[in-house]
Structure 1
């Protein structure tokens, strides 16, 4: 095993392509579904876009997805219309819904509601397009039995983007942005390494019992991710306890068993974390994990309707990335993806100093939310 690891390390040092400059990730998180991916895809799909390709890019995607009969004349493309990530519609009142899911979880009856809304407005709809990194299925609670088309960035969007290149070649700024976006998608879907590196690795795995060793390493990799995640949670809790003693003890915290479940294929294996009573109102603030970490607050609307309404009002005042299924605020706290960590994420997790800095950032974010709620609730009480 030691020889295999050394050989792989040498190949990586010699042939691995390091991350290149990318304006998208410089200005936005690479996993920002709405403000980066949905907006850029909508720009390309819009026949009136500054790419000067007219409706050709849209037609290329429709052809790739075998969507027939959609009229590409008088088309409008919108982001976040009625909460639909990307809506494509035309003067003939035909509509295509694209639900863009990198890491966020499906909401209750989400695809069903979008389709119902557009049909209620008189549009002829196609099965919604459900776009993810790897082509996973939508949650049955989101689609509620409706027909939908499952596509992926890896197998569908990346080839389409490459098809778009010749059509924007004369627009220098668009051409360069498309190249960088292709690079970003290749990185997010782990397709950003050249053939030389992968071919050398594959040839190495054919030798001796190396393939058997790698199977053991895959298991050890997941077990190590579990250990590192538990250490990160413990570091966050410890940082909060030391730095913010005014917070109560957490009444819920991740355990090794919960984290073990997260890396399994069972249902409902996400949405766990650290939970702290708000104190000023009924409810709690939390840091939770879907695939990325996010913080937020909640309150039971049935048992505490007054406190819920106060928190609901605060959601409009505080910075957020959206609202949870109970209608209250949540926002991302780090870029770390614990399910499919990038090279950069693995470097953070394995470096004690970087991991401690990340834990402190998460602790600061939770405390900021807790103190903001307490302060605004005090103002409400005085008013």
Structure 2
């Protein structure tokens, strides 16, 4: 097994050096720091290709590829493509904004809910379904299921695969983009733009963008029965290794939070079972687990600090009124939202959070493909990482506490 690992490392290092020389490691979206922005990059890029009137100048060629792949009936010549389409004032069962909405002159449509790292909003898919029922696609990096509160409310419950379909960047969108690139082969600027986006998807989904390297590794593994056997053993134990690394991260973080005087609410705290389910369950896997600390309570209003995991680790502040959450973006709580924003402008407000943001060094435990994640295998670097995160959250927590004293 040592020989296999050594050989793969040699191949990887060779292509890493070649990438530096050739510039293949360059990705324009990474350089301008919009790799995970759902609206500014992903929705707009996908919608632009789908739009027959888009700047690509290829009419409905890319849209035809898309509807053929998903077996959707729509008049591609007459469609209108909209990003962030407003569908009315948001209530429990209606309204809001649709990420990508495509409609033709025969009252047929495609609704795409685009999720990179954002959290599901309550009744979100249900509201879109009540607006227009046909061809709803729930698009995530890996084809994950939405949270149940996104498509179930009281007696109305949508069914996966019947009322909406799970789609992924890793398989569905990447395959569509590869076909789009084939159509753009004689248009260099368009072709390379699509190539950059394909490579970005590979990065976000934990794949290597280097096909030559992948081929060389594949051929080496397949060159002997011994190599194949060793590779199978590595694959068999990779999931348990991921579980171990993530669990050690949570244990280390908890120790440091407690050591710094934060009283973690035990109910709902991350468990080893959460972490194990995160990697072993293909459907209904555990998400949004972590640690919670109560910071403030006055006049039926309570504010908590939370640090959680969806794809990557993120943290922030939530608000509840009479024990009910999901109200952090209401106008009557704007004062609290603004206090969080004053602490750090990078905090993002939504229904669930007064403000949330990723850790300074992003830790994507889902893709599991970055140096920041690989470094956690070194116990000293893991401890340094959790120490840095703890210091950063303490700064924000203490700053908010001071501001809350004046309310």
* C-alpha deviation, 1:288, in angstroms: 0.8
Give CA-to-partner distance per residue, 1:212-262, whole Å, 9 cap, x none.
Answer: 4334323433333233223333443455566xx4x5332335454543343
Aligned length, in residue pairs: 369
Match for residue 183 of structure 1 among 186, 196, 199: 199
* C-alpha deviation, 1:273, in angstroms: 1.6
C-alpha change, 1:251 and 1:193, in structure 2 (3 Å) is same
For 1:65, the equivalent position in structure 2 comes to: 70
1:59 and 1:72 in contact (8 A); partners too? no
Query: Structure 1-normalised TM-score?
Result: 0.79
The 1-side partners of 2:189 and 2:388 are apart by 36
Give CA-to-partner distance per residue, 1:10-57, whole Å, 9 cap, x none.
Answer: 333345675711111222353333332112112222333322223332
Point out where structure 1 has 5 or more consecutive residues left out of the alignment.
Answer: 120-124
Match for residue 227 of structure 1 among 235, 239, 244: 244
Higher relative contact order (CA 8 A, sep 6+): 1
Query: Structure 2-normalised TM-score?
Result: 0.75
The 1-side partners of 2:103 and 2:15 are apart by 45
For 1:115, the equivalent position in structure 2 comes to: 129
* C-alpha deviation, 1:348, in angstroms: 3.2
Please tell me the root mean square deviation across aligned C-alpha atoms, in Å.
3.6
- Residue 143 of structure 2 aligns to a residue whose secondary structure is coil
For 2:280, the equivalent position in structure 1 comes to: 264
**What is the correspondence of 1:1-383 to structure 2 with a 5 Å cutoff?**
1-14=1-14, 20-28=25-33, 30-73=35-78, 75-79=80-84, 81=86, 82-90=96-104, 93-104=107-118, 106-116=120-130, 118-119=131-132, 125-138=133-146, 142-143=150-151, 144-145=158-159, 147-165=163-181, 173-189=189-205, 190=207, 192-195=209-212, 197-205=214-222, 207-240=224-257, 245=260, 247-252=261-266, 253-265=269-281, 267=284, 269-279=286-296, 281=298, 282-303=302-323, 313-315=335-337, 318=341, 319-323=346-350, 326=352, 328-333=354-359, 334-351=361-378, 355-356=382-383, 358-379=385-406, 381=407
C-alpha change, 1:23 and 1:238, in structure 2 (3 Å) is farther
Point out where structure 2 has 5 or more consecutive residues left out of the alignment.
Answer: 87-95, 152-157
149-158 or 12-21, which deviates more: 12-21
346-355 or 50-59, which deviates more: 346-355
Give CA-to-partner distance per residue, 1:257-286, whole Å, 9 cap, x none.
Answer: 543343332745222222222046534201
- Residue 103 of structure 2 aligns to a residue whose secondary structure is strand
Give CA-to-partner distance per residue, 1:271-324, whole Å, 9 cap, x none.
Answer: 22222220465342011112211112234433489x988756423662544535
